[in-house]
Amino acid sequence: MFKIAVIDDENVVRSGIVLETDWGALDCAVVAEGSNGEEGLELISKYHPDIVISDIRMPKMDGIEMLKRLRESGDNTYVIFLSAYNEFSYAREAIRYSAADYILKPYDDGELEQAIIKIENVLKKNKQESELRIEEDVLAQNALIKAGKSKYVAEALDYIGEHLS
Protein backbone atom coordinates (compact mmCIF):
# COMPACT_ATOMS: atom_id res chain seq x y z
CA MET A 1 0.00 0.00 0.00
CA PHE A 2 1.29 3.42 -0.96
CA LYS A 3 1.21 6.34 1.49
CA ILE A 4 -0.24 9.69 0.41
CA ALA A 5 0.07 13.18 1.93
CA VAL A 6 -2.32 15.92 0.83
CA ILE A 7 -1.17 19.52 1.30
CA ASP A 8 -3.63 22.31 0.41
CA ASP A 9 -4.60 25.49 2.23
CA GLU A 10 -8.23 25.28 1.11
CA ASN A 11 -9.99 22.98 3.58
CA VAL A 12 -12.80 22.17 1.15
CA VAL A 13 -10.39 21.21 -1.63
CA ARG A 14 -8.20 19.14 0.70
CA SER A 15 -11.22 17.33 2.15
CA GLY A 16 -12.57 16.76 -1.35
CA ILE A 17 -9.34 15.11 -2.46
CA VAL A 18 -9.21 12.94 0.64
CA LEU A 19 -12.88 11.94 0.73
CA GLU A 20 -13.81 11.73 -2.95
CA THR A 21 -10.89 9.63 -4.16
CA ASP A 22 -11.20 5.84 -3.95
CA TRP A 23 -7.84 5.30 -2.28
CA GLY A 24 -8.46 1.60 -1.67
CA ALA A 25 -8.88 0.97 -5.40
CA LEU A 26 -5.55 2.76 -5.95
CA ASP A 27 -3.86 0.66 -3.23
CA CYS A 28 -3.21 3.88 -1.29
CA ALA A 29 -3.94 5.40 2.09
CA VAL A 30 -3.84 9.05 3.08
CA VAL A 31 -1.45 9.25 6.02
CA ALA A 32 -1.21 13.04 6.41
CA GLU A 33 -2.99 16.29 5.61
CA GLY A 34 -1.52 19.77 5.83
CA SER A 35 -2.49 23.35 5.03
CA ASN A 36 0.81 24.89 3.90
CA GLY A 37 4.33 24.04 2.80
CA GLU A 38 5.89 24.35 6.26
CA GLU A 39 3.37 21.90 7.69
CA GLY A 40 3.87 19.74 4.61
CA LEU A 41 7.62 19.46 5.21
CA GLU A 42 7.03 18.39 8.81
CA LEU A 43 4.42 15.81 7.81
CA ILE A 44 6.58 14.43 5.00
CA SER A 45 9.50 14.07 7.41
CA LYS A 46 7.29 12.35 9.97
CA TYR A 47 5.21 10.01 7.75
CA HIS A 48 7.48 9.45 4.71
CA PRO A 49 4.70 9.31 2.11
CA ASP A 50 5.35 7.79 -1.30
CA ILE A 51 3.33 10.51 -3.03
CA VAL A 52 2.52 14.10 -2.04
CA ILE A 53 -0.42 15.90 -3.61
CA SER A 54 0.03 19.62 -3.10
CA ASP A 55 -1.36 22.99 -4.05
CA ILE A 56 1.17 25.50 -5.35
CA ARG A 57 -0.02 28.77 -3.80
CA MET A 58 -0.36 28.49 -0.04
CA PRO A 59 0.36 30.78 2.91
CA LYS A 60 3.63 30.62 4.90
CA MET A 61 5.37 28.45 2.30
CA ASP A 62 4.15 27.65 -1.19
CA GLY A 63 4.32 24.23 -2.82
CA ILE A 64 7.29 25.09 -5.04
CA GLU A 65 9.41 26.15 -2.06
CA MET A 66 8.34 23.00 -0.20
CA LEU A 67 9.43 20.87 -3.17
CA LYS A 68 12.69 22.80 -3.49
CA ARG A 69 13.51 22.14 0.18
CA LEU A 70 12.62 18.46 -0.18
CA ARG A 71 15.04 18.13 -3.10
CA GLU A 72 17.77 20.07 -1.31
CA SER A 73 17.48 17.64 1.62
CA GLY A 74 17.82 14.66 -0.74
CA ASP A 75 14.16 13.63 -0.50
CA ASN A 76 12.92 12.23 -3.83
CA THR A 77 9.27 11.83 -2.83
CA TYR A 78 6.96 12.05 -5.83
CA VAL A 79 4.99 15.32 -5.80
CA ILE A 80 1.86 16.02 -7.83
CA PHE A 81 0.86 19.67 -7.99
CA LEU A 82 -2.78 20.69 -8.26
CA SER A 83 -3.11 24.34 -9.17
CA ALA A 84 -5.72 26.80 -10.36
CA TYR A 85 -2.91 28.86 -11.89
CA ASN A 86 -2.14 28.25 -15.53
CA GLU A 87 1.07 30.30 -15.40
CA PHE A 88 4.10 28.90 -17.17
CA SER A 89 6.46 30.13 -14.43
CA TYR A 90 4.83 27.76 -11.92
CA ALA A 91 5.04 24.81 -14.30
CA ARG A 92 8.67 25.64 -15.11
CA GLU A 93 9.60 25.72 -11.40
CA ALA A 94 7.72 22.46 -10.82
CA ILE A 95 9.73 20.83 -13.62
CA ARG A 96 12.99 22.32 -12.33
CA TYR A 97 12.50 20.52 -9.01
CA SER A 98 11.27 17.27 -10.58
CA ALA A 99 7.57 17.37 -9.79
CA ALA A 100 5.91 14.16 -10.95
CA ASP A 101 2.89 15.94 -12.44
CA TYR A 102 1.13 19.31 -12.68
CA ILE A 103 -2.67 19.19 -12.88
CA LEU A 104 -4.85 22.26 -13.34
CA LYS A 105 -7.90 22.75 -11.11
CA PRO A 106 -10.64 21.93 -11.69
CA TYR A 107 -9.32 18.64 -12.99
CA ASP A 108 -11.24 16.00 -14.91
CA ASP A 109 -12.52 12.81 -13.30
CA GLY A 110 -9.76 10.23 -13.33
CA GLU A 111 -6.95 12.72 -14.00
CA LEU A 112 -5.52 12.58 -10.48
CA GLU A 113 -5.96 8.82 -10.36
CA GLN A 114 -4.05 8.41 -13.64
CA ALA A 115 -1.17 10.49 -12.29
CA ILE A 116 -1.07 8.31 -9.15
CA ILE A 117 -1.16 5.07 -11.16
CA LYS A 118 1.73 6.30 -13.32
CA ILE A 119 3.81 6.97 -10.20
CA GLU A 120 2.82 3.63 -8.63
CA ASN A 121 4.08 1.82 -11.73
CA VAL A 122 7.45 3.54 -11.39
CA LEU A 123 7.59 2.76 -7.66
CA LYS A 124 6.74 -0.92 -8.27
CA LYS A 125 9.39 -1.19 -10.99
CA ASN A 126 12.01 0.42 -8.73
CA LYS A 127 11.10 -1.98 -5.91
CA GLN A 128 11.40 -5.02 -8.21
CA GLU A 129 14.78 -3.84 -9.49
CA SER A 130 15.98 -3.26 -5.93
CA GLU A 131 14.84 -6.73 -4.83
CA LEU A 132 16.57 -8.28 -7.84
CA ARG A 133 19.84 -6.48 -7.00
CA ILE A 134 19.62 -7.69 -3.39
CA GLU A 135 18.99 -11.26 -4.55
CA GLU A 136 21.97 -11.08 -6.94
CA ASP A 137 24.18 -9.74 -4.13
CA VAL A 138 23.15 -12.59 -1.82
CA LEU A 139 23.89 -15.18 -4.51
CA ALA A 140 27.29 -13.62 -5.17
CA GLN A 141 28.13 -13.62 -1.46
CA ASN A 142 27.07 -17.26 -1.15
CA ALA A 143 29.30 -18.17 -4.09
CA LEU A 144 32.25 -16.45 -2.42
CA ILE A 145 31.55 -18.20 0.89
CA LYS A 146 31.28 -21.61 -0.78
CA ALA A 147 34.50 -21.08 -2.73
CA GLY A 148 36.49 -21.02 0.49
CA LYS A 149 34.72 -23.95 2.24
CA SER A 150 34.94 -27.69 2.14
CA LYS A 151 32.64 -29.82 -0.01
CA TYR A 152 30.37 -30.62 2.98
CA VAL A 153 29.99 -26.98 4.00
CA ALA A 154 29.21 -26.04 0.38
CA GLU A 155 26.53 -28.75 0.20
CA ALA A 156 25.03 -27.58 3.50
CA LEU A 157 24.91 -23.99 2.24
CA ASP A 158 23.22 -25.16 -0.98
CA TYR A 159 20.65 -27.11 1.03
CA ILE A 160 19.94 -24.13 3.29
CA GLY A 161 19.68 -21.79 0.31
CA GLU A 162 17.20 -24.06 -1.46
CA HIS A 163 14.98 -24.76 1.53
CA LEU A 164 15.12 -21.48 3.43
CA SER A 165 13.32 -19.44 0.78
Q: Which conformational region is residue 158 in: left (phi greater than 0), alpha (psi within -120 to 50 degrees), or beta?
A: alpha
Are 62 and 71 in contact by the 8 Å Cβ rule? The answer is: no
Residue 138 CA: distances (Å) to CA of 130, 147, 165: 12, 14, 12
Are 5 and 34 in contact by the 8 Å Cβ rule? The answer is: yes
Whole-number Å distance between alpha carbons of 11 and 140: 53
Q: What is the pLDDT along the chain (165 residues), one digit of tens a residue?
A: 999 999 999 999 999 999 988 999 999 999 999 999 999 999 999 999 999 999 999 999 999 999 999 999 999 999 999 988 777 777 788 888 888 888 888 888 889 999 999 999 999 998 888 887 887 777 777 666 656 656 677 677 778 877 775
Specify burial of residue 104 (Cβ count, 10 A radius: 0-12, 13-18, 19+): middle
Question: Strand pairing of 28-34 and 51-55?
Answer: unpaired
